[in-house]
Amino acid sequence: MNQVLIVALVKIGVLVGGIMTAAAYFVLLERRVAAWIQDRHGPNRVGIPLTKIRLFGLGQPLADGLKMILKEEYTPAHVDKRLFLLAPIVILTAALAVYAAIPFGDRIPALPGAGIDAPISLIVAPQLDVGLIYIFALSSIAVYGVILGGWASNSKYSFLGGLRSSAQMIAYELPLGLGILGVVVVSSSLRLDDIINAQASSGLWFAITQPLGFMVFVVAAFAEAARLPFDLPECEQELVGGYHTEYAGMKLVLFLVAEFIHMITASFLIAIMFLGGWHLWGITGTVDSPITWSLAILRIAVLMAKIFAVIFFFMMVRWTWPRFRFDQLMSLAWKVMLPLGIVNLVAVAVLTEMEHIGWLGAHGAIWVCLAGWAVALLGWMGVAMIGPLVTDNRPRLDMRPYEVDPQL
């Protein structure tokens, strides 16, 4: 069999197995984080099967998975069965296919014994030169799974959840894209490994030089992943379960796993595009450093540590912030995030051109960093001054007692 195909299959197996396992155990981590924040005990009883070893409840995901597998695969009679079954498959497939363009490390050394004489890039599809476009395309396809699930369920709760999801995705795709465009302008590439190398070469992460773009991207990523305080498509207080109200058993598991994979994907993108990826000053070397096994493993560990930190931040926000009203959510996207994204993109384009033609002198990187923070400060000052005027425009209810017209 072709060695390139074997290497690709090994990468796919490592990624799919790792992502699915991580999604299961991040559920346990989130339940423990929630318990820690709320000053109570989380899952800590289920351990290794057939033994008395509990290991802090590490067997809980296995028990949860077994419970869902053994649940009755019930399909309501009033649903469109073909679309009802297709929806969870679409959303999970799109969530996993994204990782073809996302690196999970830098490179590993060549394996001459296996006939591989060049370092192996830790990307499933290293020849894909439009990685960010590919990721955005599949992320947009994922929303079809939510809409199909809401429509096919033939339920008002599911239908409202699907409508909310489509509106939310469309609104926050724009600031998400604007946050990424600033990174693309500076790195001059759509490949995620080139974006990491650009940060490693300069020593300045894009979160430092583009703080406004970083903030816009993080907020939009929360909304795209439908995480609190942006989980309007499935908020149980209003919609029971939202777009997956009618789902049960393994079909429901596919939706829930895809939701966690979206959070992991957002964490990958934040860590890679704004937090330097595998780069860490004085530890992981430079782009030109010769690749050894120790350095390759260290870079993978640094990237995974950053991703874990971002995921922990996602979980902390979930159990800290209250949910938005839907009108606030949409106003935040169109009236705050979108203008800030445009301001960041224009500022990055102007500063990058000034640096290229030499107007910023020998210390151009320092001036770019200072200008980026000044733009972020001015942008958020503007939000603080005019934000309440544009985000809280819901008409007030007339709470006076109802008066009957005497002529009626």
Lowest mean pLDDT of 2-16, 291-305, 368-382, name the range: 368-382
For the cut 60, the answer to whether the pLDDT of residue 307 exceeds it is yes
126: left (phi over 0), alpha (psi -120 to 50) or beta: alpha
For the cut 70, the answer to whether the pLDDT of residue 283 exceeds it is yes
SS3 393: coil
SS3 116: strand
For the cut 80, the answer to whether the pLDDT of residue 286 exceeds it is yes
Q: In angstroms, rounded to a whole number, what is the distance separating the alpha carbons of residues 381 and 375?
A: 10
Q: What are phi and psi of 56, to 5 degrees?
A: 60, 25
User: Which amino acid, one-letter code, is at 197?
Assistant: N
Can you give the residue ranges of every domain in the chain?
19-70, 74-326
Percent of the chain with pLDDT over 90: 19
For the cut 60, the answer to whether the pLDDT of residue 47 exceeds it is yes
Q: In angstroms, rounded to a whole number, what is the distance separating the alpha carbons of residues 169 and 270?
A: 18
pTM of the model: 0.88
The pLDDT-based confidence of 397 (bands split at 50, 70, 90) is very low
The per-residue pLDDT for range 198-252, each reduced to its tens digit, is: 999 888 899 988 888 898 999 999 988 888 888 888 777 777 777 888 888 888 8
Lowest mean pLDDT of 46-55, 166-175, 369-378, 383-392, name the range: 383-392
Which residues, at least 6 apart from 69, have a Cβ–Cβ distance to it below 8 Å? 249, 250
For the cut 90, the answer to whether the pLDDT of residue 301 exceeds it is yes
Higher-pLDDT residue of 163 and 379 is 163
Percent of the chain with pLDDT over 70: 89
Q: What crossing angle do the helices spanning 364-391 and 211-224 adopt, rounded to 10°?
A: 50
Question: What per-residue confidence (pLDDT) applies to 402?
Answer: 45
For the cut 70, the answer to whether the pLDDT of residue 383 exceeds it is no
**What is the four-CA torsion angle of 208, 211, 216, 217, rounded to 10 degrees?**
-10
